[in-house]
Structure 1
C-alpha cells in the first residue's frame, strides 16, 4: 500500500508531462482569421483612380468591377462574374434544344406504328387491310397523328403500350413544367393519381379566382395546403407566395413556347389534349396560366431564346432552362449595378452560388462586404451637391500609403530604414504635463501610474483613465511655414506626371500633419491661374487643357501664406515641368505668351526676390528634360540661394520629402 502511495505522485507527474502543447505560426494555407479583404489596399487602388481623374464613386465602382487580390487569393470583380454569367447563358443555349419531348413522342409513335403494322401483316383479313389503310392515312404532323389514334383499337399490345406511354409522357412533362418533381412522382401514375392531380388543379384555380376577386383566402389557402401540400415541396406560406412560385414557372413555360417554331408550338398544342388521355388536364393548366398571367403581369411572358445545341430537353427540363436563363438575366442586371441606387447587397448570392458555383458566391459576398465596410468606416462622404467625396479619414489613409512608399524609397536610396518610434518634438526638458489631444510626445509612465493610484485612492474604481496620462515635455522646435507649389498645366497630365505630383503632396501633407504638427503647409496649384487648395481638392482635381504656367501667381499666394506665419521658418517647394509662360496683370487677368514673354519672366523673378527677402528657402523640382527650363531654374536658384533637383517620376515624392526633412534639420 505504501509503495502504491509512493508511486502515485510519479504517475501523476508522468500524466501531466504528456499534456504539453506547442504553439507556432499557422502554416495550413491562408490565415483563416484574416479579413477577407484589405481596406488599405482597396483605398490605395481607389485613391490612384481618383488621382487619375475619376470621381470617388467611379473609383469605387471600378474597384468592384476589377476585383482585388488578398493574401493568396484573387477575388474576382463584377466584370469577371458577369462574364461567367453570360458564358453560362451561352453554354445553355449552345448545347441544348427544346424539342426533346416532341422527339421522344415521335420515337414512341414510330415504335407503336411499326409494332401495329407488323401485327396487322400477320393477319389475313379485310379488317387488317382496312386498319393498314387507316394507318397510312394518318396526318404527317405528330400532333395530328396522335390525336387521330385516340380512338384507334390497337391490335398489338406493344403498340398499345407505346401509345399509352405517349399520353403518360405528355402528362408528366406538362405537370413538370409547373410543379417541381412531378415528372418523377407521376412515373407510374394510375387513373386515381391523375384524378388527384386534376382535383388539385381545380381547387388551385378556384383559390386563385377567389384571390383575384379580392377576397380573403387565408383559410382557403390553409385548407388547400392541408389537402394538396404534397404537390408543393417549397412549402409556400400564403396565397401570394404560392402565386409568385407558380407564376415564375408558368412564365418560363411560356418563354419556352415562344422560343419554339410555330410548327412545334402547334404540335405541342395538339399533343397537350392527349395528356394522360384526358383533355381536362390541358384545359385546367391553360386556365391556371391565364389566371397567373393576370395576377402577375410583371413577369416576363413575352421573352424567349434561341437554342441551337444537340442535346434535346423535355418540356419540364426546357422550362427549367428558361427559368435559369431568367435568373441569369436577373443576375447580370444585378452585377451590372447600372440602375439608380444599386448596391452589391442586391445580388442574389444563393442564386449565384446555385448557378455559377460556391466560389462565385464567395467572391460576390466579399465584394459586398468590402463595399459595406468602406461605407461603414466613413471613407466616403456626401458633398453639398450630393456627389460622393473622399472623407478626411480616407485622405489620411492615402497619405499614410504615399508616405510609406516615400520612406521606403528614401531608405533604399540612403541605406536608411523606417522606424516605428515617434519622433519627439525636441530634447526632453525633464518636466511633464497633462496629455492633450494631438500630442505625440512619449508618456511619463511614473507620473501616469501615480495619477491613476491617487485617483483610485479617492474612490474611483477605474484602473486607468485618459486624465491620468502625462507626457514628457520637450523643448520647442522651430516652426516652418511650407508652401508646396505644384504645376497643374496640361503637360503634367500629358506626360504622366499628374499622379506622382498628387502622391507627393499626399506624402508631404501626411508627414507634416503627423510628425511636424507645428508646421503649416499650403498646397498651391498653378496653371493659367493659381489657387490655394485643400488636400481633398487636389486629390480629386481633374486635368484640363489650358495653356499657361503661371508661377508668378503661385508665388504671390505663397508669399501671402508665409506672411501669415511671421514667426515660422519660410520654405517654398516648387514642382514644375515647364517655364513660366503666364503672369498675373494688375487687373487680375492672366497674361499668356509662348515663348515666355520678358514681362512674365521679370514678374516671376520679382516675386522670387520678394520671398528671398523674407529669408524663404527655395527648392525647385524640375521634371522632364527641357534645356530651357533647366537653364531658367538654375539662374533663379543662384539668384535666391536655392536648390534645383531633377528627380525621376518615381522618385519625386522621395526627393520632396527628403528635401523638407533636410530643411527642417
Structure 2
C-alpha cells in the first residue's frame, strides 16, 4: 500500500518545474522544421508545455484567452447607461430632502405661531418672510431642468432651506470633483472630500505648477521636478512618482481611463456628464485643468491607450465604480498588448508579472515565472548561448537534438513491422547477431557456453561431470562492420518546406549524424544540401539548416558532383550516397551557371544522369528516398537505379526515418562467421 503525505502550500514550493532535456525535446520539432532556435522558443512560449510532473503549463495563447474571457465577463456584467441613474437618484434625494425640509420648517413655524399667544403679533412678519422664501424655493425645485447637469447647475445657486439637503448636495459635488480630479490624479481620490477651501486652493496651485513644468519641457528647458515634489509631493501619496516621465505616464493612464469612459457612453450621456463635472468645479480650476489636459494631449497623445468598451450587462454602476472598472479594463488591455508583443518577438521578460497575478491569479504568475526562467535554464545547461540579441545552439545543444532524433526514430522502429534496430556490442570478431554456429578451424574462438553445454548434455545425457568433445563447441555468429563513407543529399527546394517534408528529412540527417558519430566513429559522413545549387553543409550548422523559400530549382546534378568529390577523398570499400528528395531534377550547372526549367528539360535530365554514371563508375551506390510519387520523379529515379543498381524507396515524411535507418544499418553489415 502506498502512503501519501500532503502539506499546505506556503509559497516556497514550486509546483511547476521544467527539465532541460524535456525543454529541448519540446523545441526539437520546430528547430528541425525551421532551423531557428529563437522562433522555436517563441512558439514554445505561445503554446506552453508539460512540466516534469506532467502538468500542463499554459502558454501565452492560453493566457491571452483567459484574459479575454475575464474582460468579456466584465463587459457582459455591467450596464454603463446606469451610471447616470446613481447621480440622478442622489439628486432626487437632495430635492426630496429639501422639499421635506421646507414643509417641516413651515409646519414648525405655524405650530409655533399658533402657540405664541400674545407674542403671535410679533411673529407674523417673520412668518411671511419664511413663507415667501419657501414659495420661491419650491417654485425653483418645481422648475428644475430634466437633465442632471442642469439640475446641478441650478442647485449650485440655490439657497437651501434644509441643512441636510445642503449637506447631501455638497457631498454630491465633492464626489463629482473627486471624479474630475481622479481624471488626472489617482492619489487624490480620498483626499478631496475632506479638503478645506485653503487646501483646494493649494491643489490648484499644484496644478498650475505642473502646467508650468510641462510648458518648460515643451520649450526644451529642464523642469525642476525635485522642487515640485518637495512642495507638492503629498498630493501623490502613496505612490509618489520618481521622475517627471513617471508622473506623465501616471497622468496618461488616468486621462486615458476617463477618455475610455467617455468614449463608451452615448453622445447624450457623455455631454451630460461633462456638463455635470464642469458645474461642480469653479471656473478658474476648470481653466487650469483644461490647460493641463490640452498640454498632455498635445505632448503625449493617449489615443492608443483609450478604448471604447461595449457594455452589455444589467448590473448598475456608480461613477466611482465605472472609473475603477475602466482602469481594470485598460490594465487588461495593456497586459494583452504585452502578450501579443512577446508572441511576436519572444522577449518574455517583458510580461508584467504583477498584472498577470492581478487579473489571472497566483498560479498564472508562477507559470509565467517558470517560462521566464526557461531560457536561463537552457543556457546554464550548456544547450544555448547568446550571440548579440539572439540565441543559438551550442555544440552540446546540437548533440542533444541529434540524440533525441535518433532515439525517436529507433523508438518508432521498435513499434513498426519493418523490424527493430539491433543493439551493438563490441567484440574481437565484430558484432554479435544473437545466432550461433558449430566451431570450425580458423573461426574466432568466441564460445557460446550455453549452446556448447547443451550439445554435450544432448549427446551424453544429464550426468556430471560434463564431458566436452570438439563437435560440442558452438561459437557466437558475428558480423563484420565494414568502414563506410556516406554522403547524405538533402533536398532544400521550396516544395520540401511548403508540403511539410523538410522537418522529417532534417530529423533523419540529425539522427544519421549522431548514429555514425556515436556507433560507427570510423565511418565518414558528409552532408550536402541542394536546391538551385548544391552546397556542403558543416555538421555544426545542421540544427539551423532550413529549406530555400525564395529560389526555384532542384539541382541534383550539382549535388552529385559534390558528393562524388567528397567520397573520392576516402579509401574505403563502401561508398554510398543517400538522397532524400520530393521532386525530379529541374536545374543543372553549365559553365558555372544554373539552368532551370519546369517541367524538367531533356538537357537537365541528361546532365544529371551523366553524373549518376560517373558515380557508378567510381563504385558509388546511390539510394534514393522519394517523398512524392509524381510521374517525372518516378520515371527519372527508375532510370537512375537501372544505371547505378542502387535502391529506390517511395515513402511519406512520417515513415522516412525508419526506411533510411533500416536500410543504412542492414546494408553496412556482412557475416564473417
TM-score normalised by the chain length of structure 1: 0.70
Deviations 1:535-564 (A, max 9, x none): 536853325588765544433322211111
Deviations 1:426-470 (A, max 9, x none): 989xxxxxxxxxxxxxxxxxxxxxxxxxxxxxxxxxxxxxxxxxx
Q: Residues 387 and 167 (structure 1 numbering): CA distance in 2 closer, same or farther, change over 3 Å? A: closer
Distance in 2 (CA, whole Å) between partners of 1:247 and 1:589 is 60
Q: Give the deviation of 1:508 after TM superposition.
A: 0.6
Conservation of the 8 A alpha-carbon contact between 2:481 and 2:668: no
Conservation of the 8 A alpha-carbon contact between 2:493 and 2:547: no
User: 1:17 maps to what in 2?
Assistant: none
User: 1:253 maps to what in 2?
Assistant: 258
Q: Residues 388 and 33 (structure 1 numbering): CA distance in 2 closer, same or farther, change over 3 Å? A: closer
- 2:578 maps to 1:573: yes
Secondary structure class of the residue paired with 1:521: strand
Q: Give the deviation of 1:355 after TM superposition.
A: 2.7
Distance in 1 (CA, whole Å) between partners of 2:8 and 2:665 is 42
Which aligned pairs between 1:122-271 and structure 2 lie closer than 5 A? Answer: 127=132, 128-155=134-161, 159-160=165-166, 162-174=168-180, 177=183, 189=194, 193-195=195-197, 197-198=199-200, 200-202=202-204, 204-205=206-207, 208=210, 211=213, 214=222, 216=224, 218=226, 221-222=229-230, 224-225=232-233, 228=234, 232-236=237-241, 244-245=249-250, 248-257=253-262, 259-260=264-265, 263-271=268-276
- 2:659 maps to 1:651: no
1:67 to 48, 56, 68: 48
Q: Greater Rg, structure 1 or structure 2?
A: 2
Q: Residues 292 and 629 (structure 1 numbering): CA distance in 2 closer, same or farther, change over 3 Å? A: closer
Q: Give the deviation of 1:298 after TM superposition.
A: 2.2
Q: Residues 410 and 247 (structure 1 numbering): CA distance in 2 closer, same or farther, change over 3 Å? A: closer
Q: Residues 422 and 118 (structure 1 numbering): CA distance in 2 closer, same or farther, change over 3 Å? A: farther
Secondary structure class of the residue paired with 2:90: helix
Q: Residues 233 and 119 (structure 1 numbering): CA distance in 2 closer, same or farther, change over 3 Å? A: closer
Q: Give the deviation of 1:380 after TM superposition.
A: 6.4
Q: Residues 208 and 407 (structure 1 numbering): CA distance in 2 closer, same or farther, change over 3 Å? A: same
Distance in 1 (CA, whole Å) between partners of 2:86 and 2:629 is 78
User: 2:402 maps to what in 1?
Assistant: 399
Which aligned pairs between 1:415-434 and structure 2 lie closer than 5 A? Answer: none
Distance in 1 (CA, whole Å) between partners of 2:600 and 2:278 is 90
Secondary structure class of the residue paired with 1:518: coil
Secondary structure class of the residue paired with 1:651: helix
Q: Residues 638 and 300 (structure 1 numbering): CA distance in 2 closer, same or farther, change over 3 Å? A: closer
Q: Residues 274 and 508 (structure 1 numbering): CA distance in 2 closer, same or farther, change over 3 Å? A: same
User: 1:503 maps to what in 2?
Assistant: 507
- 2:118 maps to 1:110: no
Q: Give the deviation of 1:638 after TM superposition.
A: 6.6
Distance in 1 (CA, whole Å) between partners of 2:634 and 2:334 is 60
Distance in 2 (CA, whole Å) between partners of 1:636 and 1:652 is 20
User: 2:536 maps to what in 1?
Assistant: 532
- 2:411 maps to 1:408: yes
Which aligned pairs between 1:405-554 and structure 2 lie closer than 5 A? Answer: 405-413=408-416, 479-488=483-492, 492=496, 496-527=500-531, 529-535=533-539, 536=541, 540-544=545-549, 550-554=555-559
Deviates more, 1:511-520 or 1:497-506: 511-520
Conservation of the 8 A alpha-carbon contact between 2:38 and 2:346: no
Structure 1 unaligned runs (5+)? 1-21, 429-475
Deviations 1:183-218 (A, max 9, x none): 66677x5xxx53464255146346536755556464
User: 1:560 maps to what in 2?
Assistant: 565
Q: How many residue pairs are counted as aligned between the two chains?
A: 582
Secondary structure class of the residue paired with 1:48: helix
Q: Residues 514 and 318 (structure 1 numbering): CA distance in 2 closer, same or farther, change over 3 Å? A: same
Distance in 1 (CA, whole Å) between partners of 2:180 and 2:585 is 81
Deviates more, 1:165-174 or 1:344-353: 165-174
Distance in 2 (CA, whole Å) between partners of 1:596 and 1:246 is 70
User: 1:287 maps to what in 2?
Assistant: 288
Conservation of the 8 A alpha-carbon contact between 2:342 and 2:351: no
Deviates more, 1:508-517 or 1:158-167: 158-167
Secondary structure class of the residue paired with 2:653: coil
Deviates more, 1:499-508 or 1:409-418: 409-418
Q: Give the deviation of 1:327 after TM superposition.
A: 2.7
Q: Give the deviation of 1:353 after TM superposition.
A: 1.8
Deviations 1:85-121 (A, max 9, x none): 4444444445445566643231122233345445667
Q: Residues 346 and 593 (structure 1 numbering): CA distance in 2 closer, same or farther, change over 3 Å? A: closer
Deviates more, 1:329-338 or 1:173-182: 173-182
Q: Residues 583 and 425 (structure 1 numbering): CA distance in 2 closer, same or farther, change over 3 Å? A: farther
Conservation of the 8 A alpha-carbon contact between 2:532 and 2:594: no
Secondary structure class of the residue paired with 1:541: coil
- 2:323 maps to 1:319: yes
Secondary structure class of the residue paired with 1:337: helix
Q: Residues 219 and 657 (structure 1 numbering): CA distance in 2 closer, same or farther, change over 3 Å? A: same
Conservation of the 8 A alpha-carbon contact between 1:256 and 1:318: yes
Q: Give the deviation of 1:425 after TM superposition.
A: 11
- 2:18 maps to 1:37: yes
Distance in 1 (CA, whole Å) between partners of 2:58 and 2:343 is 21
Deviates more, 1:301-310 or 1:401-410: 301-310
Q: Give the deviation of 1:165 after TM superposition.
A: 4.1
Q: Residues 196 and 242 (structure 1 numbering): CA distance in 2 closer, same or farther, change over 3 Å? A: farther
